[in-house]
Amino acid sequence: MKLKVFSVSKIHKNVFLIKLFSAILITGLAFSLFIFHSSDFSPVFASVTGRFEARFLPPKVIVPENEDLIPQDIEIEKCNLFAGKWIPDSSGPTYTNSSCGNLIDGHQNCITNGRPDLDFLYWKWKPHDCLLPRFDPRKFLQLMRNKSWAFIGDSIVRNHVESLLCMLYMVEEPVEVYHDKEYKSKRWHFPIHNLTISNIWSPFLVQAAIFEDSNGVSSAAVQLHLDKLDETWTSLMPTLDYAIISTGKWTSTPDHFQNGEWHNGGTCRQTEPVSDEEAEMKNVHKILRGLEIGQFERAVREKTGEDGGGGGGNVKLLDFTGMLLTRPDGHPGAYRAFRPFDKDKNAKVQNDCLHWCLPGPIDYLNDVILETIVNG
Do residues 147 and 242 touch, judged by C-beta distance below 8 A? Answer: yes
Residue 77's nearest CA partner among 133, 146, 129, 137 is 129
Q: Which residues are 212's β-sheet partners?
A: 218
Decide: helix, strand or coil at residue 256. coil
From 154, 329, 352, 363, active-site residue: 352
Give the up-direction half-sphere exposure of residue 193: CA atoms within 13 A in the CB hemisphere.
32
* 193-203: burial string, b at 16+ Cβ within 10 Å, e else: bebbbbbbbbb
Decide: helix, strand or coil at residue 229. strand
From 37, 160, 256, 355, active-site residue: 355
Give the CA dihedral 75, 78, 79, 80, nearest 10 degrees.
Answer: -130
Cα gap 40→42, rounded to integer Å: 7
Do residues 180 and 142 touch, judged by C-beta distance below 8 A? Answer: no
CB atoms within 10 A of CB 150: 25
What angle, rounded to 10 degrees, do the helices at 155-168 and 364-375 form?
A: 70
The angle at the Cα of 324, spanning 351 to 152, to the nearest 5 degrees, equals: 85
Amino acid identity of 161? V
Cα gap 220→312, rounded to integer Å: 42
- For residue 11, the surrounding DSSP H or E stretch is helix 8-11
Is 352 annotated in the active site? yes
Is 276 annotated in the active site? no
For the annotated catalytic residues, the residue numbers are 155, 352, 355
